[in-house]
Amino acid sequence: MKLADFATPSFLADPYPVYAALRAEGPLVPIAPNSMISGHYDIVDKVLHDRHMVHNFEGSVRKRYGDDGLNQPVLQGLGRMFLLLNPPVHTRLRSLMMKAFNARQIESMRDIAHSTAQRLIDDFANRRSVDLVSAYARPFPIEIICRMLNVPVEHADKLGDAMEHLARMLDAAPADAAQLAASNDAYQTLERYFTEVVEARRKQPGTDLISMLITVEEDGETLTQDEIVANVILLYLAGHETTSNMIGNALIALQRHPQQFDALKRDLTRLPNAIMECLRFDGSVQLAGRTASEDTEIAGIEVPRDTLIYLSLGAANRDPARFDHPDQLDIGRELPRVITFGGGVHHCLGYRLALLELETALGVLLARLPDLAIDGVDDLRWNGRTSLRGVASLSAHW
């Protein structure tokens, strides 16, 4: 199996047959020099929790872009985001971020999420058909993160292209020269914008997330200006893409399993478990990566230091050794831990917000439009991303 197998049109449309072949090939499969991949739940979970399996951002940049890569503005910015750092720097940043991004802060967004969903649906409910991505799945999480950061939601449109170019840099495949240049411009646009926002918030603080990041302190430690700006950009990016794609993926999975969809519509109290099942069945986040910080052994296989291990979260969530009948959607399934949000020290900081958003977005939509049906689920245009799976549009009627 080669890395190119994870970028074919057939894979991007439906990766799960390739994932089944990956699992059958072995616990760890070589796919490129010094690179392996696993789609087995137990191995993916073990690697995610192994302190010796780390992010090697600088090494990855040098491998992809040469020594000059570390001078690229977008890669410098990504290198300041706590998501891609290791302890102890990651520990300090995450601890400070969690003070501002805690359970109480997230729960305070529930009413805002509910009113946002209602208002967006009000705008199209009388049309009888709509593209749910552009009218609902995309603007819904954007409005919420804008409220949390207290930035004008109308600015999201002008920053949208920049966010798209930045997100491309997180894919498994390296960017070509044109994409790298576009991503550099994009990061500098975002950096200028959020630097102005942070400076304004220092002069006039509020109760928003940016103000909290400016003031958080632990054992005398605070966040630097560059750390605040880079990680606000990260939060803004995460607020754009992962949840919006997951709303679409969940609706597609449910439409493709009409008995499950009907059962959920009849009893929306089943929604929390249904969401976890949809996250397992076809999660938006499909891939993670770790690098061995020392020579080690995984499942009896020697893994030399500096080997990059790709972790196929999508394949792990369909592992028949972990889930009975994994290729069937079952909203009543008693679920072991779904691995979509990662694990270990890098477990997704925003998972509570993501679950709140998914529960609200789907719950309000199905309560308001109980006859909702998704069109053309066997002929969809997927986004062509190996790491973040979703559709460009999603036609629906009721």
Per-residue model confidence as pLDDT tens digits over 157-205: 888 888 888 988 888 778 888 999 999 999 999 999 999 999 999 999 9
What pLDDT does 37 receive?
96
Instruction: State the Cα–Cα distance between residues 129 and 367, nearest whole angstrom.
Output: 16
Provide the residue ranges of all domains of the chain, joining segments of one domain with +: 3-397
Gap between the Cα atoms of 77 and 172, Å rounded: 18
Nearest 5°: phi and psi at 52?
-90, -5
Please check whether residue 346 is in contact with residue 91, taking contact to mean a CB–CB distance below 8 angstroms.
no
SS3 assignment, position 385: coil
Those residues with Cβ within 8 angstroms of residue 53's Cβ, 6 or more apart along the chain or in another chain: 47, 290, 291, 292, 293, 296, 309
pLDDT digits (tens, 9 = 90+) for 339-378: 999 999 898 888 999 999 999 999 999 999 999 999 999 8
CA-based Rg of the chain, rounded to a whole angstrom? 21
Q: For position 59, what pLDDT does the model report? A: 85
CATH of the domain spanning 3-397: 1.10.630.10
